A and B are shown apart, each in its own frame.
Chain A
Amino acid sequence: MSAVTVLEIRLDTGKARLRRLPELRQHLGGSGLAAALFGQYALPSEPWDHPAQPVIFTIGPLTGFFPLMSKTVCAFVSPRHGGYAESHAGGRSALALRFAGLDALVLVGQSPRPCIVQVGAHDVAVEEAGYLWGMDALACAKRIRRRTAGSGHRSIWRIGLAGERCSPMACINVDTYRHFGRLGCGAALGAKRVKAIAVVGEEPLPLPEGKTYSALFKDIFRQLTDTEMMHKYHNLGTPENLEPLDALKALPWRNLQATSNPAAISQVSGQRFADDALLRNAACAGCPVGCIHVGFVREKFIPQDNRYLYRQVSYDYEPIFALGTMLHLRTPADILTLLDDVEKAGLDAMSAGVALAWATEALERGVISETDTGLRLAFGDLAPYRDGVHRLAAADTDFWRTLSRGADAAAHAYGGADFACVLGQEMAGYATGETFFVAQALGLRHSHLDTGAYSYDQSNPPQDTAAAVRFLLDDEAERVLLTSMVACLFARKVYTQERIAQCLEALGQNELAADLPATARRLQAMRWVQRLAFGFDPLAVTIPRRFTEVTTWRGPIDARYLEALRQDYAQAILRCAAEVHP
């Protein structure tokens, strides 16, 4: 079994240590490897921002070797909940690590000054970067591109103001249009005073002899590009889902006060974005699908004259939900303008939008006042939201500092917990039913990508908690295998367990290919052990009342079924973790 190559960098000294660890290969890579390394490095007795807590980046055994094996896992102690967290990103991040010769990059310690970490196959450096501190995430990347060689073959990860201020909503911007988005990984870097990481990947790897590997690659590539399977992702992209979910009464509007808006949905649909704003597509390195949709918005900055500036902003379903329908912004131009502000601030778009939606309703209801916000937030009004994004990142008053810790934290301080749309973290854009609400509230990443619960709801299943829990556990195990490779989850129908086994065998990794279902279950349990080690109690998770007031195409949410499912899934998670740690 091949060794895992881990580069550990101590930020307090600037020194690095290369570790070759054959015993970790059994955990594959990505999620599995991240959880294993987290178990070695993280300190459950210490807070999230203790200097010794690690920030870990991992790729998998298939990264770069096959198409859409193009993502990187970031594992860290979340400032949102104080425990094990993962966030995943694409761009060039995964291939840059692969060609830097690494399976994992681990940062520990705290830099005495703001710094940039530079990593390559033959280079490691921790360089002072005080001049970048305070710079927005887009301007920061431009500066780094000027000083770093390897155009096209480097990946630049950095934080904005939100990360510097250690906001639990801070993301890590990756290259130009991707992110390690959720659970506050940007704060994990900010606490270490790491403004940016530049990975330059230039070293080749040998390929297996014979024709098996090339033939398998060709077959998978054709499957991904010649069939209709991936059409939705490169045509309208994920925003294709906006209209169908609105029709199902499953699209959150105005802080989830409604789940449908027939009068407005066509103004923010995937087709409307394509017609009015789509500039072009882009792709992660190693992915021929090209699901990244880059929109265009221009702004007349001298009202009496024809003087314009323009912005290129990547859009997806989730940011359109969070910064569009949740805030009742109803034009691509407004949504892209706000999204550009979120990009620069280095905020997670979903958390920022849902938090602002809570603040807007709280203001409407008189739970908070303009004295608190300093802004007249109102659904559908772009200008105060633009200021709100900056305030959220700056966290410069008691109110905005509290809100930056989450809508639930603000509700705890000011009231309005019933309508804080928080399921572990601010909700993702699926008001599909009980299964999704429970799945995000309890899911390991509190992400819509932990399981396909939103699809399960849409299959109109009978109310059967045992069947739903079985689905959640089985689906999570399948996804853990994919995120341990690390595949883009858009390719999940292509990369079946049989296909993954073929890929591993083609690379001579026959031991890893053996009994993947059992490996998936083991890694699934191992991640839960890490999640529970810092005190997460799934039985104590609550789901705010707003989620029980929702009406979907199937009628009102059944609060009793929701509660029964919550309890059963929580028990199942504890049993899952106990399988490896009795």
Chain B
Amino acid sequence: MKRLLAAHMERCIGCHSCSLACARQVHRLLSWEHAGIRIASSGGLSTGFEATVCLACDPPPCAAVCPTGSLSARRGGGVIQNKSLCIGCGRCVAACPVEAISQDRVGNVFVCIHCGQCVPYCPHDCLELAEVTP
């Protein structure tokens, strides 16, 4: 199984290319917010940047609270998302211990699915798609 790791965030320059790539490639949106990975400075640009992204919990607490099965546990950690089953209840957002799940104003949920589409768009190799053994 592949897993996205924000392994070298000390290299991050804050360009948001990863978030924009996720929104564009996975969700067909232009956004730096509605994406599976989001970048924030930790108190101004002088303090560097942090990635908010799924840590691939196993078992995932977000899937455990999902009442419709829209999020289900993925082998090796993290979740598989079936958007058509989502009712926008937001329980997953509250359950995530690292605030990695976001929700838009109409209830759509955005969570990293560890597809790695953001990785080639990081100019400083902050991200990697690592092989993990379930």
Interface residues of A (CB under 8 A from B): 64-65, 67, 95, 98-99, 122, 141-142, 145, 151-153, 175-177, 201-207, 214, 217, 221, 225, 280-290, 292, 294, 312
- CB of B123 within 8 A of CB of A285, answer no
Partner pick for A290 among B31, B38, B124, CB 8 A cutoff: B124
Q: Which residues of A contact B29 (CB under 8 A)?
A: 204-207
Tell whether A204 pairs with B25 under 8 Å between CB atoms, given A285-B14, A285-B16, A288-B123: no
Can you give 24 contacting A-B residue pairs, CB < 8 Å? Answer: A64-B30, A95-B32, A122-B105, A142-B43, A151-B41, A153-B33, A176-B45, A177-B45, A202-B33, A204-B23, A204-B30, A204-B34, A205-B31, A207-B30, A214-B24, A281-B13, A282-B45, A284-B15, A285-B14, A285-B15, A285-B16, A285-B32, A286-B16, A290-B124
- CB of A288 within 8 A of CB of B40, answer no
- CB of A294 within 8 A of CB of B123, answer no
* Interface membership of chain B positions 17-35, coded 1 if the CB is closer than 8 angstroms to chain A and 0 otherwise: 1001001110011111110
- CB of A283 within 8 A of CB of B14, answer yes
B39 at the interface (CB under 8 A from A): yes
Tell whether A67 pairs with B46 under 8 Å between CB atoms, given A204-B30, A204-B34: no
Q: Which residues of B contact A206 (CB under 8 A)?
A: 28-30
Residue of A nearest to B104 (CB): A204
**Assembly CA distance A206 to B31 (angstroms):** 9
Interface positions, chain B 76-99, Cβ under 8 Å from A, are: none
Q: Which residues of B contact A122 (CB under 8 A)?
A: 105
Could you tell me the distance in whole angstroms from the C-beta of B48 to the nearest C-beta in chain A?
8
Q: Which residues of A contact B32 (CB under 8 A)?
A: 95, 99, 152-153, 201, 285
Q: Which residues of B contact A284 (CB under 8 A)?
A: 15
Give chain A's interface secondary structure class.
loop
- CB of B24 within 8 A of CB of A288, answer no
Q: Which residues of B contact A205 (CB under 8 A)?
A: 29-31
Interface positions, chain B 102-132, Cβ under 8 Å from A, are: 104-105, 121, 123-124
Q: Which residues of B contact A286 (CB under 8 A)?
A: 15-17, 20
- CB of A204 within 8 A of CB of B45, answer no
* Interface membership of chain B positions 41-65, coded 1 if the CB is closer than 8 angstroms to chain A and 0 otherwise: 1011110110000000000000000
Could you tell me the distance in whole angstroms from the C-beta of B75 to the nearest C-beta in chain A?
29
- CB of B13 within 8 A of CB of A282, answer yes
Tell whether A288 pairs with B17 under 8 Å between CB atoms, given A95-B32, A202-B33: yes
Q: Which residues of B contact A283 (CB under 8 A)?
A: 13-15
**Assembly CA distance A39 to B14 (angstroms):** 36
Could you tell me the distance in whole angstroms from the C-beta of A269 to the nearest C-beta in chain B?
23
- CB of B28 within 8 A of CB of A207, answer yes
- CB of B123 within 8 A of CB of A289, answer yes
Partner pick for B40 among A152, A177, A225, CB 8 A cutoff: A152
Residue of B nearest to A141 (CB): B44
Q: Which residues of A contact B124 (CB under 8 A)?
A: 290
- CB of B15 within 8 A of CB of A151, answer no
Q: Which residues of B contact A65 (CB under 8 A)?
A: 30
- CB of A145 within 8 A of CB of B44, answer yes
Most A Cβ at <10 Å: residue of B15, B29, B33, B49? B15
Q: Which residues of A contact B15 (CB under 8 A)?
A: 283-290
- CB of A312 within 8 A of CB of B33, answer no
**Assembly CA distance A292 to B34 (angstroms):** 26
- CB of A204 within 8 A of CB of B33, answer yes
- CB of A175 within 8 A of CB of B121, answer no
Residue of B nearest to A291 (CB): B13
Residue of B nearest to A313 (CB): B46
- CB of A99 within 8 A of CB of B41, answer no
**Assembly CA distance A152 to B37 (angstroms):** 12
Tell whether A176 pairs with B44 under 8 Å between CB atoms, given A153-B33, A204-B34: yes
- CB of B14 within 8 A of CB of A142, answer no
- CB of A204 within 8 A of CB of B31, answer yes
Q: Which residues of A contact B121 (CB under 8 A)?
A: 221, 288
- CB of A95 within 8 A of CB of B16, answer yes
**Assembly CA distance A153 to B15 (angstroms):** 11
- CB of B24 within 8 A of CB of A152, answer no
A95-B32, A204-B23, A290-B13 known; 6 new pairs, CB 8 Å cut-off, are A64-B30, A153-B38, A214-B24, A282-B13, A286-B16, A294-B46
**Assembly CA distance A286 to B13 (angstroms):** 11
- CB of A152 within 8 A of CB of B39, answer yes
Could you tell me the distance in whole angstroms from the C-beta of B111 to the nearest C-beta in chain A?
15
Q: Which residues of B contact A153 (CB under 8 A)?
A: 32-33, 38, 40
Q: Which residues of A contact B16 (CB under 8 A)?
A: 95, 152, 285-286
Q: Which residues of A contact B49 (CB under 8 A)?
A: 152
Most A Cβ at <10 Å: residue of B29, B104, B123, B124? B123
Q: Which residues of A contact B31 (CB under 8 A)?
A: 99, 203-205
Could you tell me the distance in whole angstroms from the C-beta of B32 to the nearest C-beta in chain A?
6
Could you tell me the distance in whole angstroms from the C-beta of B86 to the nearest C-beta in chain A?
16
**Assembly CA distance A142 to B41 (angstroms):** 12
Could you tell me the distance in whole angstroms from the C-beta of B41 to the nearest C-beta in chain A?
6
Q: Which residues of A contact B23 (CB under 8 A)?
A: 204
Residue of B nearest to A230 (CB): B123
Could you tell me the distance in whole angstroms from the C-beta of A38 to the nearest C-beta in chain B?
28
Tell whether A225 pairs with B123 under 8 Å between CB atoms, given A64-B30, A207-B30, A290-B13: yes
**Assembly CA distance A282 to B34 (angstroms):** 23
Could you tell me the distance in whole angstroms from the C-beta of B42 to the nearest C-beta in chain A?
8
